[in-house]
Homo-oligomer: A and B are copies of this chain.
Amino acid sequence: MADVAERAGVSASTVSRTLRGYASVSAEVRERVERAARELNFAISRQAASLVTGKTGVVAVLVPILKSWFVGSALEGLGLVLRAAGLELVVYYVPDMVERADFFERLPARRNADALLVFSFDLTEEESARLDDLQMPVIYVSQHAEGRPSVYVDDVAGGRGGTRHLLNLGHRRIAFLRAIGVSGFTFSSNERLTGYRQALTDAGVPLDDELVVGAVLGEDRTVVQAVGQLLSLRHPPTAIFVEQDELAVAVLWTLRKSGFDVPERLSVLGFDDHDIARWVGLSTIAQSPTEIGRAAGELARALIETPDADRERHIVLPTHLIPRATTAPLTPPPPAPESGQETPPAGPGAWAD
């Protein structure tokens, strides 16, 4: 910076003022300084600046996973807002419990960021408490944190809306397929199930626990098994509401492989509006992780400027139905359903319990 000052024939203070965009710099001087800075390829050192301002110009995020559509999209939304605000994004990738314990032990974000966004973790109260004395705004993303700022989607409404859609199509036996073991997402999962139950109850359709099954994303066998379980019920469902698009695609795949036409024989509804949903024509409840990221970023910006305001602000984002090709009105049952054998279950593993 001294170099720039010299080249422009001014003092360092003036260079600083110019580069920070203060109005109190004469046009002529500003011009000279800016040229000098450009010619010398000068960029302010955040480190030095933050030492005196007390602001780091950094927003940190804590994420359990990065290769996920949800987290990736949210980070994209966040990234846009942050750059517009001149903030940098540092990522703490904390995939397992060991790393996590270490993170909460050391809290590396302390003093090295102006705000922390916690993504999709199911934090213990103890961990949250630890974050509370971090001396910076902490925002909970994709989860509702009591008494703390958070940004999330109205999963209950989404679950309800999706279920209603199926009810409106005439379905009464509606299954719900949960995604098991997606660490950090149990909050959403429970909420969606709650919405499903609410909608059924509101419609006077009795809840049936046999219709709620689970599968592990990425473990084909569990999907086949879950689907098989449903198809072999005394009163099998005519529609399946799958908690997550990626899992819904696995379900579609399983059904189609065994000759079950979707949506003719069975409607399938997903949740997320993952990119893949569009490719395979999956009807789904859309949420916008990009929007979540953006909202979280804006909340962060606000809290950095006004630390005390909005301490408990919750931003709840909407979902909406995107009907595509996998949900259809309930068709009357096939002509002669006399023989119990007429609906063979789906492929290998279908009879597994």
Which positions in A face B, CB cutoff 8 Å?
A: 41, 43-48, 50-51, 56, 58, 65-69, 71-73, 75-76, 79-80, 83, 88-93, 95, 99, 106-108, 110-112, 133, 218, 220, 246, 249-250, 253, 256, 275-276, 278-281
B91 near A79: Cβ-Cβ < 8 Å: yes
The 28 listed contacts between A and B (C-beta, < 8 Å) are A43-B108, A43-B110, A43-B111, A45-B51, A47-B51, A47-B112, A51-B51, A65-B72, A66-B75, A66-B79, A67-B72, A67-B275, A68-B72, A75-B93, A79-B91, A79-B93, A83-B93, A83-B99, A88-B108, A88-B112, A90-B91, A91-B91, A218-B279, A220-B281, A246-B279, A250-B279, A250-B280, A256-B256
- In this complex, the member of A51, A67, A71, A111 whose beta carbon has the largest number of chain B beta carbons within 10 angstroms is A67
List residues of chain B with CB within 8 A of the CB of A249. Answer: 276, 279
Bound-state CA distance A318–B173 (Å) is: 50
Closest partner residue, chain B, to A43 (CB atom): B110
B110 near A91: Cβ-Cβ < 8 Å: no
B56 near A47: Cβ-Cβ < 8 Å: yes
* Number of copies of this kind of chain in the complex: 2
List residues of chain B with CB within 8 A of the CB of A89. Answer: 90-93
A90 near B88: Cβ-Cβ < 8 Å: yes
Knowing A43-B110, A220-B279, A249-B279, the reply to whether A76 touches B93 (Cβ < 8 A) is yes
List residues of chain B with CB within 8 A of the CB of A111. Answer: 43-47
Bound-state CA distance A253–B212 (Å) is: 28
How far in angstroms is the closest Cβ of chain B from A68? 7
List residues of chain B with CB within 8 A of the CB of A79. Answer: 66, 91, 93
B67 near A80: Cβ-Cβ < 8 Å: no
A46 near B112: Cβ-Cβ < 8 Å: yes
Bound-state CA distance A250–B65 (Å) is: 25
Bound-state CA distance A51–B1 (Å) is: 14
How far in angstroms is the closest Cβ of chain B from A234? 29
- In this complex, the member of A51, A65, A72, A99 whose beta carbon has the largest number of chain B beta carbons within 10 angstroms is A72
Bound-state CA distance A110–B88 (Å) is: 13
A89-B90, A220-B279 known, 8 other contacts, Cβ within 8 Å: A43-B106, A45-B111, A67-B69, A67-B76, A75-B91, A76-B95, A90-B90, A218-B279
List residues of chain B with CB within 8 A of the CB of A75. Answer: 66-67, 91, 93
A276 near B276: Cβ-Cβ < 8 Å: yes
Q: CB < 8 Å: which of B45, B92, B281 contacts A112? A: B45
List residues of chain B with CB within 8 A of the CB of A58. Answer: 90
A80 near B66: Cβ-Cβ < 8 Å: no
Q: CB < 8 Å: which of B51, B110, B218 contacts A48? A: B51
Knowing A48-B51, A71-B72, A72-B68, the reply to whether A278 touches B220 (Cβ < 8 A) is yes
Bound-state CA distance A250–B276 (Å) is: 9
Q: CB < 8 Å: which of B65, B80, B106 contacts A76? A: B65
A133 near B72: Cβ-Cβ < 8 Å: no
How far in angstroms is the closest Cβ of chain B from A326? 12
Bound-state CA distance A250–B280 (Å) is: 7
Bound-state CA distance A30–B176 (Å) is: 57
Knowing A47-B112, A51-B48, the reply to whether A80 touches B56 (Cβ < 8 A) is no
List residues of chain B with CB within 8 A of the CB of A80. Answer: 93, 95
List residues of chain B with CB within 8 A of the CB of A281. Answer: 220
Closest partner residue, chain B, to A56 (CB atom): B47
